[in-house]
Each structure stands twice: as C-alpha cells, then as structure tokens.
C-alpha cells in the first residue's frame, strides 16, 4: 500500500511513523510512505499556504492552490484522498478497515481554522476526525490514522490473529479487553487473580469474558447499548 501525507509539519508524521511496527512495514515493503512538505507546491517567494477568510472571522484558512497542485501531481486512477479535519466523520474501525483495503491514500492535514472548501468538494473522498477534542495540528491526526490503517495490511502484524481479536474489530465485537497481568505473581502485595494461574482454560475464558463486560460497563457503557 502507498500513502502520501501532505502537511506543513512533516516531522510530526515522519518521526512517529518511523518507529517500531510502522518502520518494519516500510522496511518489509508492505508500506510505501512518503511525508511531503505542502510548501513544495507553493509558487510564491514566501511559500504561503494560508490566507484570511472570506466573510471575516477568526484565524487563517489554508489556500486551495498547493493542495490541488500536490494532489494532481501525486494521484493515480486508484487514489483515494483523505482530509484530516475536526469537521470530518469520527474515525472508527469500520472506516479504518475500508481505507486499509485501498491501494493508495493521499492524506491532507488541515491546520489553522480550516481548509478552503473547494479542496473538500473537488479532491476529497473521506473527511475524517480522530475524535471530539481540539488539536493544534492535523498531522498528529494523520499519524494516528496511518498507524490504525497500516497494522491491518497483511504481513504487518507478526501474529495475524492479533489484528482480528482486538477490541473494536468486526470479529472482536464492540467490547473492551479483559485486564492482563505478567510476572511477578505478587507485586507489592498485589496478587495476580488466582484463576489466571490455574491452567484451567475454560475458567480463564469465563473470567476474561466477565471482566471484559465489567470493564466495558465501567469505562464505555455506550458500547453495551
Ligand atoms: C481532529 F483531524 C483533525 C485535524 C485538525 C484538528 C483536529 N482536531 C480534533 N480532531 O481529528 C482534527
């Protein structure tokens, strides 16, 4: 899969996506990632990417020309264009799965007050927000999206089952995971639950299921409705 990210802060994406699993996916050839500085597609001396909003109001708006020039240069007939924006649909695992099945994504990062709406109308296939909180920088949202998408590409996760069995995947159902423990069995007087040491897989399974429901009721009651 090929992913191009367009941002005025390339390091915000290239640093986190250069570590760990994302690094392995690129070295292994499953991911061809390029993080571009949007200013490469400006033509003026000051490399301007923003301007004041028509109709007045707070802040600056990102100009259309650099986005159009970049997308027109980078896209192919199979490309889908994603815009990271607080005005987008809230990202969930179904949209992540849909994007993971694409051959080529171009991800546009919104900054400032927003992006000229002609970009949205003429270029964008998916408008995505990673959640209902305020960020200063759309490139952070793009790094989150790319991590979620790339781990679903076949061969990226060492153990193929791990992608399927996580919370929120279609097969896993919408329930949180049970608590997990490792050595030592007693840490500062806090013991690992007996059942996990029992070796009784049936009982362990029942315990995990009950704990998962309990945790979901506590932290994410919306998932049980
Ligand atoms: C969103 F996608 C973006 C881009 C810029 C700011 C944002 N704020 C909140 N959530 O994911 C977002």
The residue extents of the domains of the chain are: 2-150, 175-224
114: left (phi over 0), alpha (psi -120 to 50) or beta: left
Is the beta carbon of 129 within 6 A of some atom in ligand 1?
A: yes
DSSP string across 105-151: EEEEEP-TTEE-HHHHHHH-SEEEES-SS--S-HHHHHHHHHHHHHT
Residue-level pLDDT at 22: 97
In CATH terms, the superfamily for domain 2-150 is SPOUT methyltransferase, trefoil knot domain (3.40.1280.10)
Q: Is 222 helix (H, G, I), strand (E, B) or coil?
A: helix
User: Ligand 1 pocket: which of 50, 89, 138 to mutate (most atoms <8 Å of CB)?
Assistant: 138
Q: What is the pLDDT of residue 171?
A: 53
Residue 57 CB-half CA count within 13 A = 9
Architecture of the structural domain at 175-224:
Orthogonal Bundle (1.10)
pLDDT at position 173? 63
pTM of the predicted model as reported, rounded to 2 decimal places: 0.93
Among residues 183, 148, 166, 151, which one has the least CA distance to residue 28? 151
Point out which residues pair with 81 in neighbouring strands. 106
Ligand 1: does its nearest atom lie under 6 Å from the Cβ of 10?
Answer: no
pLDDT in 10s for each residue of the chain, 225 residues? 999 999 999 999 999 999 999 999 999 999 999 999 999 999 999 999 999 999 999 999 999 999 999 999 999 999 999 999 999 999 999 999 999 999 999 999 998 789 999 999 999 999 999 999 999 899 999 999 999 999 999 999 976 656 555 667 655 568 999 999 999 999 999 999 999 999 999 999 999 999 999 999 999 999 998
Classify burial at 37, counting beta carbons within 10 Å of its beta carbon; exposed 0-12, middle 13-18, buried 19 or more.
middle
DSSP 178: P
């Amino acid at each position: 899969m090929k992913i191009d990210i367009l941002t005025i802060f390339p390091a915000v994406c290239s640093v986190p996506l250069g570590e760990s699993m994302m690094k392995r996916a690129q070295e292994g050839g499953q991911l061809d990632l390029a993080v571009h500085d949007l200013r490469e597609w400006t033509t003026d001396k000051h490399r301007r990417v923003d301007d004041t909003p028509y109709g007045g109001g707070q802040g600056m708006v990102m100009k259309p020309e650099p986005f159009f020039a970049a997308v027109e240069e980078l896209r192919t007939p199979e490309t889908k264009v994603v815009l990271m924006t607080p005005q987008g649909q809230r990202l969930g695992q179904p949209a992540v799965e849909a994007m993971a099945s694409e051959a080529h994504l171009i991800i546009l990062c919104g900054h400032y007050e927003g992006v000229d709406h002609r970009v949205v109308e003429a270029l964008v296939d998916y408008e995505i927000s990673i959640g209902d909180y305020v960020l200063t920088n759309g490139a952070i949202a793009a790094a989150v999206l790319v991590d979620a998408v790339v781990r679903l590409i076949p061969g990226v996760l060492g153990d193929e089952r791990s992608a399927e069995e996580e919370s929120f995947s279609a097969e896993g159902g919408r329930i949180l995971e049970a608590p997990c423990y490792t050595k030592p069995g007693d840490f500062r007087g806090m013991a690992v639950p007996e059942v996990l040491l029992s070796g009784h897989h049936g009982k362990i399974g029942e315990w995990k299921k009950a704990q998962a429901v309990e945790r979901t009721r506590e932290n994410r009651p919306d998932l049980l409705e």
